[in-house]
Structure 1
Amino acid sequence: MNIQIELDGRRLDLARMHEISLPIDFSMTKERAWYIGPPRREPVRLGDWVGSTREGGSVNFYNLFINPHAHGTHIETASHINHTYSISPVVNPLFLKAYLFTAAADNSGALDLLTLWPALPYDVQAIVIRTLPNSPDKVHTCYSNTNPSFLTADDAKRLANSGIFILLIDLPSVDPERDNGALAAHHSFWEHQLPHSPKPALIGEFLYIPDALPDGPYALHIQHPAMYTDAVPARVFLIPYI
């Protein structure tokens, strides 16, 4: 089988597609952020019957207890901050024009995007922000009570005004860990979407982008379950061009 996909005349190198998402792992002993503990998987118990082959049951039949924001890569709609918005995170189109950019924080903790703006393609639809430092240990980091870096509301606005409607970052949040509930970058990004941008605009958090992937343009593909809530787990892929 030979499948070829083009995005605006550029062929996608599917053989070098890279997953940049962090799975929800039920062997985790702590959350990745937000102080709530690890995800849980518990067998259903109905009288004497148990949904666990390990415990003698005929089949594995589990209840899952997860929080998309705390336990792995997720995407969220504006319903994360306002119940009147759509709660269906539909990614459209299937492949998006994305740009990968690496940023470090300044002394305030805000990410420095100064060199992004002259490099950003005019027709980009999604931005993927890799933050420094970027050790492989990042995939196991628990960010609770660490005050990681963040985006400013002005930069979130500028991203939205650039036509970007998918904002992805490798941190627990685009906003500071503690900001008294302001979530200024979330609000700014969603409030400044261009009228013609596809809806809903999405924010994705908790990625990991290896250093081997250079900054620059990629195609982006996002998979997620059919769930109606403010945030859902997601698989995210960067695809180089040929």
Structure 2
Amino acid sequence: MSTPVLDWQGARFDMNPARAVSLAIPLDFEGPQPGFFGAPPARRKALESGGFTGDTRAGGTCNCEVLEITPHCNGTHSECVGHITEDRATVAQQVGTVLCPALLVSIHPARLDSSEETGPAKAKGGDAVITRTALQSAWETLTPATPPQGLVIRTLPNDPGKQSRDWMDDPAPAWLSREAAKWLVDQGVDHLLVDMPSVDRADDDGELLAHRIFWGLPPLSRKLMESTRPYASITEMIFAPDSVSDGLYLLDLQFPSFTTDAVPSRPLLYPTA
């Protein structure tokens, strides 16, 4: 059987499912899992209804579980502009289907005070940031022939502990500088994937600069109608293993049709053929 190949604006991608790489962190409801912002761990329990028990180990006729999860804090998730607007916009409504070329880049975060870039008012000089300078350098080094609509950022060092880390512990996670977020918009990146818990500083008094810039919202705006990029998506808490090289891939961003601003997601990368 021949390997399925997709031609996309001059690039050829290997669509063999066996070669797809998932960037989603497996969510273990009973074991180690990542966490953020003090949210409780994701949990599951057997459904109890009348005389029914949704656990075959407890005598139930079948397994039926109730899941408790905070998508923004319990693992790999994709979010839309509704994350910061008063209007209850949803991922399925705003983003829809995502299948596009995406560039994977590895970035060493820099200290804010060693760069000439900026962040929220509460930023400190020792904060770790993803800078425009680093992004532009990685992008130009790879020189993608096909303009990528997606960008996957893998921070270095690429500690496997990212998959189960409480991100409110020290050291604080990196975030995107104001200039980096604007540069991504200028490059036409519509789908941003990062291995941090947020593209913004955890404590920024609600400025959410990178989120607002990426979705084309004025500072502190909460109005969906003011967004110039409501179709864009941000996926956080991914994990890109070291076995996956920097370069151009086809991104298949999969998520359920929940009517919420953020959903658990499964980003898949298909390599070039």
**What TM-score do the two structures reach when normalised by structure 1?**
0.89
Q: CA separation in 2, counterparts of 1:89 and 1:103?
A: 30
Does the 8 Å contact 1:103/1:113 carry over to 2? no
Does the 8 Å contact 1:28/1:38 carry over to 2? no
Tell whether 2:36 aligns with 1:5: no
Counterpart secondary structure, 1:208: coil
Tell whether 2:264 aligns with 1:239: no
Change (3 A) 1:226 1:239: same
Does the 8 Å contact 2:33/2:75 carry over to 1? no
Q: CA separation in 1, counterparts of 2:240 and 2:250?
A: 14
Tell whether 2:136 aligns with 1:117: yes
Q: CA separation in 2, counterparts of 1:115 and 1:33?
A: 26
Tell whether 2:52 aligns with 1:45: no
Does the 8 Å contact 2:214/2:229 carry over to 1? no
Q: CA separation in 1, counterparts of 2:99 and 2:33?
A: 33
For structure 2, the residue ranges without an aligned partner over 5 or more in a row are 113-127, 218-227
Quote the residue 1:72 is aligned against: 75
Tell whether 2:149 aligns with 1:131: no
Please tell me the root mean square deviation across aligned C-alpha atoms, in Å: 2.3
In the TM superposition, what whole-angstrom CA distance separates every residue of 1:88-134 from its partner, at most 9, and x where no partner exists?
33655542111111112222311134143251647220111001120
Query: Aligned letter for 1:6?
Result: D
**What TM-score do the two structures reach when normalised by structure 2?**
0.80
Quote the residue 2:116 is aligned against: none
Quote the residue 2:201 is aligned against: 176
Shift of 1:135: 2.0
Change (3 A) 1:85 1:162: farther
Q: 1:96 aligns with which of 96, 100, 106?
A: 100
Change (3 A) 1:129 1:9: same
Q: What pairs up with 1:192-231 in 2 under 5 angstroms?
A: 200-231=231-262
Q: Identity of aligned pairs, percent? A: 34
Greater displacement, 219-228 / 22-31: 22-31
Change (3 A) 1:85 1:42: closer
Q: CA separation in 2, counterparts of 1:204 and 1:52?
A: 33
Change (3 A) 1:174 1:198: closer
Counterpart secondary structure, 2:176: coil
Q: 2:183 aligns with which of 148, 155, 158?
A: 158
Quote the residue 1:107 is aligned against: 111
Query: Aligned letter for 1:99?
Result: L
Does the 8 Å contact 2:80/2:230 carry over to 1? no
Query: Aligned letter for 1:20?
Result: L
Does the 8 Å contact 2:78/2:265 carry over to 1? yes
Tell whether 2:37 aligns with 1:34: yes
Counterpart secondary structure, 1:137: helix
Change (3 A) 1:114 1:72: same
Shift of 1:4: 2.7
Change (3 A) 1:198 1:176: closer
Tell whether 2:147 aligns with 1:144: no
Does the 8 Å contact 2:52/2:60 carry over to 1? yes
Shift of 1:186: 0.5
